[in-house]
Structures are given as C-alpha cells and as structure tokens.
Amino acid sequence: MGLPRIAPYPLPVAAELPAPRAAWVPQTGRVALLVHDMQRYFLAAYEAEAGPIAPAIAHLARLLAHARERAIPVFYTAQRGDQDRRDRGLQADLWGPGMRAVPEHEAIVDALAPAAGDHVLVKHRYSAFQRSNLDTLMRARGRDQLLIAGVYAHIGVLSTATEAFQRDIEPFVVADAVADFSRADHDMALRWIARTCGVPLTTDRILELLT
C-alpha cells in the first residue's frame, strides 16, 4: 500500500509516440493547461535529479511560461493532507491514508509554483473533473481543449483525459511532461489515450503549434 519507489527511466521522444486516432490540434484561443498533482508528496517517489521527473518538470515549466505569456488559462490540481476517510473513499483501500497536511507533502514543487491568476483546484479522485469545477471554469473562459501534464500518467492523467473526452473537451497529453511508475506504464497510458480519447504530443511540438 502507498506509493512505490520509482526507478529512473527516459522520457519518450517524438518518434516514439503512438499515432492518435484524432486529428485535433491545440489552439491558443481554445486551450487550457492542467498541471496535474505536481505536489511534493507524489514527486518524492522519484530521484529528483533524474528522468523522468527532472526533465518533465523542465518541460512543464516551459509550457507554463508560454501559457502565461499568451493568457492561456492555467489550472492546477492538488490533494489535501489528512483526508477524512469518508472523503478519501475507495482510494484508501488501494493507496492508504495518503499525504499529511504539511507543506512537505501538500506544496506544489517550487519550479512549478502557481502564479497570480492561476487556478488551484482541490483534487478528490483520479480525474481532475471529479468533484471540482474545472469544466465550469473552462467553459466560462471559452476553452474546449486541455493540455494535461503531471503525474501519474496511467492513473490521474489517463482518467482526466478520458473524462475530458466524455465532456467533449479535446485532451492533449504532454508526453514528455508527464511521469509514471515506469516507462512501461508511461507508454501504456499514451497508447490507450491515443487509441481512445486524445492526442499525445511533445512539449516542443505543442509550443510550435501554439506559436
């Protein structure tokens, strides 16, 4: 129970990404950026200076800078520590009690800290849409596309992409700005999303398309 220690692995490059069924392209006037669960508690499972997490953070920092320069809405998800067992629900059966209500667990890593105007949503379940107003906030800003980056690819990132699709929001997973338990899990998540609900892209490709 609880999180595993995660061995380093290299992030995928553009030539390794699965071909998506969808032909969607992110557009500056339609897209929002989601920074998914990049809290110290979750990232402590990685070797901080190694792949996948170090380069994923660097790529995500570039996306954040680009989004803020161009008034693309930025959303964060962050769980709270010391959750009541009734609120944590079935997640407690799989992952234990989760994080404590201390900065060493709850805080988003410094390199990706929210800025003025960003939106930090309380995370309750795998999908960022569950028990949050992410959908409402996106619709109010005329956004029907979502760039998803963060951890973990085969759990919350995949669940969020699937639910975005089911809400008619086009999901794009930033393949080199997400991280997972292993490269096998990482690749599985990208394949599943590409086949069923979204488009995996590299950071460089996204920035090229949005420039």
Which are the catalytic amino acids? Answer: 37
By DSSP bridging, strand 145-151 and strand 170-179 are parallel
CB of 61 closer than 8 Å to CB of 149: no
50, two tokens: 């190694």
79, two tokens: 């769980």
CB of 13 closer than 8 Å to CB of 190: no
Q: How far is CA 210 from the centre of its chain?
A: 19
Neighbours of 171 (CB within 10 A): 25
CB of 170 closer than 8 Å to CB of 22: yes
**103, amino acid identity:** P
CB of 60 closer than 8 Å to CB of 118: no
